[in-house]
């Protein structure tokens, strides 16, 4: 091992800026001369990429931990200061919203980010409990904040965590903001250079405010009117829901109950937030194997299973097929059917927007664009990633278009529309898909149900 690498480990084992547990772990690495672990944890730096950080948790420069989170947040704070917002020199920052999911260490990482931002005199709005990513993004816009930090690794394994940055428009950062943060992070060579303020002190000074259940109610009031189906018809559908030990349990059951889904039942074991995801092979709703426990709970009269990943920005669906067998739906099929349901409902009521636009990505099924054009919408295609969708949507709105929808992956409100496709049509989903193909009047595109 190189002297430079060993010096890096010694720094983590000796400097008082690191907590005692971290120092002891680094000392053991040196004493045991554990070359493999040392190289994995310290040889490289966990890079702040275009969306933030993501990787395994542990000590060292190449792991998600309190100190790499502080480093990323210091870069963010410097960029916010450089843009002229803040309480320095008499100015007033609009603030940063911080949310986190149910993963191990997520709350601690969120608090570390808050400590650094408050040390820069940046107002912080910190969720007091775990929160779905769409809720955090909504709160960012509601508070007219400059940015949001979300601690999550989406559907990754339990050993991972991540750090995502959202900007004032409500979407993830894109150039030049992400590039500016990356450059600032690279300038930080020593952890002790990073200022931080104890949260107790930040609360006394008013720099730290906690976000409670008022955010939930605002979100519910915002999205509930978006539902298009009949509340009476919803009573008939047997639905099973699981948040996969994550944040979706905070919001989704409330929304569905408001829409009269009286036969809703939850997978109780998976309603409990747990960063180990003990009942799952993977907390990924795009993996049919993750539906195992929900399938065990299903009775003959249950019609549909809905699941979310830990930060509730992905929706998984299983439905009864023509012969009442369970079928898993891939993301593209969910998106196509949701889009057709919404557009056909608006067409019936005369609510299709003039100059309507659908924003999608280069990896989305081409049938999405076909459906949108069938209803007279313009289609804007962008790069993969919701941050690019959000950017394209903003530009479309600024050009005078009526943004109807964006699509990359289904979020919390998609669960409701998914259910209402079934209650309104009364058909198994594969038949609904066949009906859609016929209405498009052209050669159908094959969609694989499994």
What fold, for 227-440?
Answer: Alpha-D-Glucose-1,6-Bisphosphate; Chain A, domain 3 (3.40.120)
Tell me the C-alpha distance between 92 and 119, whole Å: 14
149 to 97, 233, 414: CA distances (angstroms): 6, 39, 23
Q: Which strands, in side-by-side order, build the sheet including 52-56?
A: 52-56, 160-167, 147-151, 96-100, 124-127, 208-211
Residue 398: is its pLDDT beyond 60?
A: yes
Q: In the 3-class helix/strand/coil scheme, how is 402-449 assigned residue by residue?
A: EEEEECCCCCCCHHHHHHHHHHHHCCCHHHHHHHHHHHHCCCCCCCCC
Examine the pLDDT at 433 and tell me if it is beyond 50: no
Q: 345 pLDDT exceeds 90?
A: no
Q: Which residues of 384-406 are buried (b: 16+ CB within 10 A; e: fewer)?
A: ebbbbbbbbbeebeeeebebbbb
- Taking the C-alpha atoms of residue 40 and residue 183, their distance in angstroms, rounded to an integer, is 24
Report the distance separating Cα 99 and Cα 149, nearest Å: 6
CA angle, corner 244, sides to 240 and 247, nearest 5? 105
Percent of the chain residues topping a pLDDT of 70: 85
CA angle, 406 then 411 then 414, to 5°? 80
Residue 50 has a pLDDT of 65
Helix, strand or coil, per DSSP, at residue 268:
helix
pLDDT mean over 219-238: 83
Coil, helix or strand at residue 304: strand
**What are 163-187's pLDDT values in tens digits?**
999 999 888 998 889 899 999 999 9
pLDDT number for residue 195: 98
Fold agreement (46-217, 227-440): yes
Residue 403 is predicted with a pLDDT of 52
Long-range contacts of 232-237 (CB under 8 A, 24+ apart): 232/260, 233/420, 233/423, 233/424, 234/259, 234/260, 234/261, 234/262, 234/419, 234/420, 234/423, 235/260, 235/261, 235/262, 235/263, 236/263, 236/423, 237/261, 237/263, 237/303, 237/304, 237/419, 237/422, 237/423
Distance (Å, rounded) from C-alpha 371 to C-alpha 116?
Answer: 47
Question: Greater confidence, 116 or 257?
Answer: 116
Q: Is the pLDDT of residue 334 over 90?
A: no
**Is residue 20 among the annotated active site residues?**
no
Q: Residue ranges of the alpha helices (H) in 120-176?
A: 133-142
Mean pLDDT of the residues in the chain: 86
Across residues 183-205, what is the average pLDDT? 96
* Rounded-to-integer distance, Cα 315 and Cα 329, Å: 10
Q: Are 155 and 307 in contact (CB under 8 A)?
A: no
Query: Mean pLDDT, to the nearest integer, of 230-239?
Result: 84
pLDDT of residue 402: 53
Q: Higher confidence at residue 123 or residue 222?
A: 123
Q: Which residue has the tokens 């004493």?
A: 31
Residue of 85, 102, 154, 414 with catalytic role: 154
Q: What are the residue boundaries of the structural domains of the chain, listed by start?
A: 1-43, 46-217, 227-440
What backbone phi and psi angles, to 5 degrees, belong to 160?
Answer: -100, 160
pLDDT higher than 80, residue 418: no
Percent of the chain with pLDDT over 90: 60
Please determine, for residue 86, whether its predicted confidence score (pLDDT) is greater than 80.
no
| Dist. CA 154–CA 292, nearest whole Å | 20
Q: What is the Rg, in whole angstroms, of the alpha carbon atoms belonging to the chain?
A: 23
Which residue would you say has higher pLDDT here, 342 or 85?
Answer: 342
Q: Looking at the domain that runs over 46-217, which CATH code has it been given?
A: 3.40.120.10
């Amino acid at each position: 091992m190189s002297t430079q690498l060993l010096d890096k480990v010694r720094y983590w084992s000796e400097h008082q800026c690191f907590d005692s547990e971290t120092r002891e772990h680094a000392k053991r690495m040196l004493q045991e001369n554990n070359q493999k672990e040392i190289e994995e944890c310290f040889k490289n730096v966990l890079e702040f990429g275009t969306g933030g950080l993501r990787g395994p948790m542990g000590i060292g420069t190449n792991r998600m931990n309190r100190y790499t989170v502080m480093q990323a947040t210091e870069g963010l704070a410097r960029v916010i200061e450089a843009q002229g917002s803040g309480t320095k020199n008499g100015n007033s920052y609009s603030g940063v919203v911080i949310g986190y999911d149910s993963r191990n260490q997520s709350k601690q990482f969120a608090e570390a980010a808050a400590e650094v931002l408050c040390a820069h005199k940046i107002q912080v709005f910190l969720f007091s409990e775990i929160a779905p990513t769409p809720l955090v993004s909504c709160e960012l816009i509601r508070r007219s904040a400059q940015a949001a930090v979300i601690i999550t690794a989406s559907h990754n394994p339990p050993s991972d965590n991540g750090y995502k940055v959202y900007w004032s428009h409500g979407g993830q950062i894109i150039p030049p903001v992400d590039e500016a943060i990356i450059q600032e992070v690279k300038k930080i060579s020593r952890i002790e250079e990073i200022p931080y303020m104890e949260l107790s002190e930040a609360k006394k000074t008013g720099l730290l405010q906690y976000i409670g259940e008022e955010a939930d109610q605002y979100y519910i009031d915002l999205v509930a009117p978006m539902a298009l189906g009949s509340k009476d018809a919803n009573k008939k559908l047997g639905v099973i829901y699981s948040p996969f030990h994550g944040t979706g349990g905070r919001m989704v059951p409330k929304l569905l109950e408001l829409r009269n889904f009286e036969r809703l039942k939850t997978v109780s074991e998976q309603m409990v937030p747990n960063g180990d995801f003990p009942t799952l092979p993977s907390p990924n709703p795009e993996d049919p194997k993750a539906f195992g426990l929900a399938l065990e709970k299903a009775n003959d009269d249950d019609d549909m299973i809905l699941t979310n990943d830990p930060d509730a920005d992905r929706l998984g669906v299983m439905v009864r097929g023509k012969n009442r067998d369970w079928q898993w739906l891939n993301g593209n099929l969910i998106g196509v059917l949701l889009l057709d349901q919404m557009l056909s409902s608006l067409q019936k009521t005369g609510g299709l927007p003039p100059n309507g636009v659908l924003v999608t990505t280069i990896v989305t099924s081409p049938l999405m664009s076909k459906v949108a054009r069938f209803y007279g919408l313009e289609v804007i295609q962008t790069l993969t990633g919701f941050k690019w969708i959000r950017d394209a949507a903003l530009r479309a709105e600024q050009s005078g278009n009526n943004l109807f929808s964006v699509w990359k992956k289904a979020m919390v409100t998609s669960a409701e529309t998914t259910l209402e496709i079934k209650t309104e049509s009364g058909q198994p989903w594969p038949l609904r898909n066949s009906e859609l193909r016929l209405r498009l009047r052209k050669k159908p595109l094959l969609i694989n149900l499994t």
